Structure 1
């Protein structure tokens, strides 16, 4: 399965989603995460060699792809329409992470407007949802009212997600009492994908 994580705006949890879905899919079969973002955030995250899957640059990935069952692509932020078209053609699923923030939701709707004519298989993932506010619920209602395909699971706003990259680990391996909550949410997303 080839899954591309993409967004027209940075800061929405694109790399975090790519890393954690790669970790989940690795529990099922060999998984490669391709870091196609110019920032190389996934490659930086993997420098400690503690991630449970292999991370490669876009340039270094062609010779590796055949060795893996699942491919997760962390795309560059703000892809051009031609790049979105390539992703739509070459991926089994496009995941569009978005926070409940109005500007992020607006960017997500714009991305979907570009994807609709391509007949792409895509789904929106709400990220950085703070359970202490109503923003997440309002964002979900907005996306449901727009009849957009949406994951049932939201990814919570957790300090562990912000700090785990500095240790080179996925959230479940970060020493924080809420880390397992974050991991359980990505497991739930992974299971939704496989249904």
Structure 2
């Protein structure tokens, strides 16, 4: 299965979602997962380079080195492609032709939702039979943002995962420490209080996708 994450807006946690989705799918499906970093920011590659290889349950390669990786005889059960933000129509069309699922992360804040109708129109104009779904990220559960976002997407007849990623600083700590969010620690060395909850969010998203695509 090939999953491509793409967004029309930066700063929505796309790379964080891709990174943890790869880890969660590898764990749930006991599978070989390849994560291809196609983002010019190289966020996924940079994160992976800080992780102890023995603690990373998937493989990360840059977009330019993906072909060479396969030429060496390597194989993957699942491939996740983290794309650059704001892909052009041409890039978006290519992505939709080469994937089994287009995963579109979006924050639940109204400011982000305001730009979604234009992206929806682009997806509709490109046509094709590739399924896509939205995934809510950086959700502040103390507000009604998640509920409002779901109602907005439902009103526009757009698919959205039940699973979502909460707005936890544990993700930032995990990136800086070179670990998955489940192992994020505070400055004092104690495990972050929200690390487990954040990881469970990632597992829920991965499980929903696997079940939906099976």
The aligned residue for residue 89 of structure 1 is 97
- Contact 1:131/1:156 (8 A) holds in 2: yes
Corresponding residue of 1:53: 58
- 3-state SS of the aligned residue for 1:63? helix
Q: Which residue of 1 aligns with 2:115?
A: 107
Shifted more, 90-99 versus 56-65: the winner is 56-65
Aligned to 1:171, which of 152, 168, 181? 181
SS at match of 2:64: coil
1:3 is aligned to 3
Point out the more displaced range, 111-120 or 144-153: 111-120
TM-score normalised to structure 2 length: 0.87
**1:188 matches 2:204:** yes
Alignment-derived partner of residue 170 in structure 2: 160
Gaps of 5+ in 1: none
| The structure with more radius of gyration | 2
Instruction: Find the aligned partners of 1:111 and 1:4 in 2 and give their Cα distance.
Output: 16
1:62 shift after superposition: 1.1
Distance 2:121 2:182 in 1: 35
Over aligned residues, Cα RMSD in angstroms? 1.3
CA distance in 1: counterparts of 2:22 and 2:84, whole angstroms: 17
Structure 1, residues 8-49: CA drift from partner, whole Å, max 9, x if none? 110001001100110012222010110000010001101123
- Mapping 1:22-171, distance limit 5 Å: 22-27=22-27, 28=29, 29-50=31-52, 51-65=56-70, 67-117=75-125, 118-119=127-128, 120-171=130-181
Contact 1:100 1:139 in 2 (8 A): yes
How many correspondences in the alignment?
195
Q: Distance in 2 between matches of 1:5 and 1:159?
A: 22
Question: Do the aligned partners of 2:25 and 2:207 also contact (CA within 8 Å) in 1?
Answer: no
State the Cα distance separating 1:68 from its structure 2 match: 0.9
TM-score (norm 1): 0.95
Q: Please give the alpha-carbon distance, in whole angstroms, between the structure 1 residues aligned to 2:99 and 2:115.
A: 21
Partner Cα separation in structure 2 for residue 129 and residue 144 of structure 1: 17
User: CA shift at 1:112, angstroms?
Assistant: 2.2
Separation in structure 2 between the aligned mates of residue 77 and residue 173 of structure 1, nearest angstrom? 27
Report the alpha carbon displacement of residue 64 of structure 1 after superposing the two structures with TM: 2.4
**SS at structure 1 position matched to 2:162:** coil
Q: Return the alpha-carbon distance in structure 2 between the equivalents of residues 107 and 4 of structure 1.
A: 20
In structure 1, the residue corresponding to 2:160 is in which secondary structure?
coil
